[in-house]
Amino acid sequence: MTNQKENNKQAKDALFPNCPIRNILARVGDKWSLLVLYTLQHKEPLRFKQLQRELPDISQKSLTQTLRILEEDGFVHREVFAEVPPRVEYRLTERGLSFLPVIDNLIGWAAANMEQIISDREARMAGEKTPI
């Protein structure tokens, strides 16, 4: 029983190399993944160019890499249609859909805290001490 408790503690410990949150954040914590998932939440399915138009600042290379990672991890399904010209659509999987409440909570937290974070950042950059 002690080994199971230790294993559970290690699995939840952010300092542990195999920590689940560390692994997930390494994959979706980049600049674009959450935005791609959020965009697909509201407008799916989308073709590559449609998704690129929804996220105008993303480069073709970054979108390709982001979609590939999200597909590898089972957040996004890529469907290729046997048509001429070829048509490819992207949509959220069940895993992607189950992750949406996490994204929504993160957006809510960011909205509630962003003003103070920016204020603290600016104060720190100006050499002022910020409250803990």
Residue 51 lies in a domain: yes
Residue 86 lies in a domain: yes
**pTM score, whole prediction:** 0.76
Residue 83 lies in a domain: yes
Residue 39 lies in a domain: yes
Q: Mean pLDDT, to the nearest integer, of 109-118?
A: 95
C-beta neighbour count of 85 within 10 angstroms:
5
Residue 112 lies in a domain: no
Average model confidence (pLDDT) across the chain: 88
pLDDT of residue 43: 82
Q: Mean pLDDT, to the nearest integer, of 42-61?
A: 93
Q: Mean pLDDT, to the nearest integer, of 104-122?
A: 93
* 33-42 and 60-72 helices, crossing angle to 10°: 80
Buried b / exposed e over 43-64, threshold 16 CB at 10 Å, is ebebebeebbebbeebeeebbe
Question: Structural domain of residue 59, as residue ranges?
Answer: 31-92
pLDDT tens for each residue of 5-51: 666 665 556 567 777 888 888 889 899 999 999 999 988 799 999 99
**Of residues 129 and 22, more confidently modeled:** 22
Q: Domain of 37: which CATH number?
A: 1.10.10.10
Which DSSP symbol is given to 131? P
Number of domains the chain is built from: 1
